[in-house]
A and B are shown apart, each in its own frame.
Chain A
Amino acid sequence: MNEILVLLVGATLVNYFVLTQLGRLAMLPRLSGKPEIAIGITTGLALTLSSACAYLLYHYLLVPRDLVLLRTPAYMLLIVTAVVLVCAVMQQYAPQQYHLATAFQPLVFINCAVLSATLINDNRADTLADAVFSGLVIAAGFSLMLLLFSAMQERVTVADVPKPFRGAAIALITAGLMSLALMGVASLVPS
């Protein structure tokens, strides 16, 4: 229970370096609709799927065959596959979200890669359930951050920001200040 709580808090709040990714959101053209939610869903599903597969791959193929060195390339393959697969599923069942997510597909790839890097380096997962759970939680934290960030961006876009700082620049500053704030809770999680 305690570990799960730590994982939850840690993953939701402390992965603030993901915030650097958020700047990209502002650089992309503004689309009608809410791409944040679409990206959040896509990333969440893809990450859960890939972390489950990665766990199975790692424990049932790479470790027994003494091929741990193949970890990174194998994971990358898995992530790409997972993203494409999730997109296909979304296309079937949530075409509107899919439409938004495809515009940001490169971003989804990068997010998944960055987030799974944390997962992999962490390697806390002892069971398959743990792997799936941490994938979900990290994605949930990421989605929450996206939502918070986009709600803030909505305010900032109508602000009277000095010309040189409009757009991506102020988005990065916002992300920076967000991570400054998150440092307050960073010390909560034993590293």
Chain B
Amino acid sequence: MSAGPLTSSPHGHQGHSVRQLMLHVLLACVPGTAALVFFFGHGVLFNLVSLVLFALLFEALVLWIRQRPVLPALHDLSAIVTAVLLALALPPTAPWWLCIIAIFFAVVIGKHLYGGLGYNPFNPAMVGYAAVLVAFPVQMTRWLLPQGATTALPGLGEAITIFADGELLQGIDAFTGATALDSFREQQGAQLVSEFLQASPLMGQWSGLGWEWINVGFLFGGLYLLYKRIISWHIPAAVLLALAVFALLFHDSGSSASHGSPLMHLFGGATMIGAFFIATDPVTAATTKHGKLLYGALIGLLIYVIRAFGSYPDGVAFAVLLGNIAAPLIDTFTRPRTVGHAK
């Protein structure tokens, strides 16, 4: 017999661990990331690598300062997930210092000031994203033109230069432009939706060129997470449904005053990664079943409102952060009825 402290029941365990959940999330990111790399080139990879490295570095640093065990915390992969989600949100033209600032806000301020994994009330990746978006609007709204809309993506050398300092590269403007959603909003009132889809080189079949496939990739990843029961269907379904319903309500049958079709919103921008990967971050989301639906619907609505009436390139980050604010209150109001109690 092995000696050891006696434990309370239960003594069996399903065998899941946080690390496993995070591994599945990382795996599910692969198709969307691949699409993103295909359409926007090396910059995405630079972001990914640098953010992951700095996320681990900052996490280790904070834990070391707090004299907490470092390796187990790195072992759970949560910092890497944060870094990956943030990297996928940052523009591929982001210079290195922007990446560092963003990941600092995400890991240190968004997560560790609250005590680390499990305690943060705001989604760390979105805290990082929103912070740099507000602070560096120019760099944050300068996206590359996707593969297909431009003659060529920046080569490896050019990508390195951009990463080193975006301003150094001569003729960077040839590569960059607004995102599809941005350019749609800017032209609003001038063309019918269908006309714009055809006329603009940035647009594909139903949404932004490239973005459609990136979203399809994240949709697949999300379905994988659902299949693996890493996430529940409530939040993504509510986000997508609310977004689609509001887009349909204000679609105005594609007139020039329209804010875009439901398909354009569902497969444009960061919708799918937001619905399946970011809004579902369990730490910051609502936890009850009804609460999750409400939380998802709120995010869906906010994404639409910010995209349609706001002035930021995409609404997902702010919508998720606002959802995070509401989540604790939503939880208190959506407690399920305990068995044996009247409602």
Contact = CB atoms under 8 A, between A and B. Distances in A.
Assess A/B contact in the complex (Cβ within 8 A): yes
Interface of A: 147-148, 151-152, 154-156, 159-162, 165, 170, 173-174, 177-178, 180-185, 187-188
B310 A187 contact: yes
A173 B328 contact: no
Contact of A187 (B112, B114, B312, B321): B312
A173 B113 CA distance: 9
Given A180-B130, A188-B305, A148 B326 contact: yes
Interface string B111-127: 01111100101100001
A184 B113 contact: no
B60 interface: no
Interface in B263-318: 302, 305-306, 309-312, 315, 317-318
A96 to B, nearest CB: 19
Contacts of B328: 148, 151-152, 154-155
A160 B113 contact: no
A5 to B, nearest CB: 11
Given A184-B321, A185-B306, A185-B318, A173 B109 contact: yes
Contacts of A160: 114-116, 119
A156 B121 contact: yes
Contacts of B305: 185, 188
Contact of B113 (A151, A165, A181): A165
A181 B121 contact: no
Interface of B: 66, 109-110, 112-116, 119, 121-122, 127, 130-131, 134, 302, 305-306, 309-312, 315, 317-319, 321-322, 324-326, 328-329, 331-332
A185 B115 contact: no
Contacts of B325: 148, 152, 178, 181
Nearest to B122: A177
Contacts of B66: 162
A182 B317 CA distance: 11
Given A174-B121, A188-B309, 4 more contacts: A148-B328, A180-B127, A181-B322, A183-B130
Given A151-B328, A156-B121, A162-B66, A182 B322 contact: yes
20 contacts: A147-B329, A148-B329, A152-B325, A154-B328, A155-B328, A156-B114, A159-B115, A160-B114, A161-B113, A161-B114, A181-B322, A181-B324, A181-B325, A184-B130, A184-B315, A184-B317, A184-B319, A185-B302, A185-B310, A187-B312
State the majority secondary structure of interface residues on B: helix
Contacts of A183: 130, 134, 318
A152 B121 contact: yes
In order of increasing CB-CB distance, the 4 nearest A-B pairs are: A184-B318, A160-B115, A181-B321, A159-B119
B113 A162 contact: yes
A156 B111 CA distance: 12
Contacts of A182: 322
A177 B306 contact: no
A155 B285 CA distance: 12
A174 B127 CA distance: 11
Nearest to A174: B121
A151 B332 CA distance: 8
B12 to A, nearest CB: 28
Contacts of A165: 113
B250 to A, nearest CB: 14
Contacts of A159: 114-115, 119
A180 B134 contact: yes
A188 B306 contact: yes
Nearest to B115: A160
A183 B109 CA distance: 18
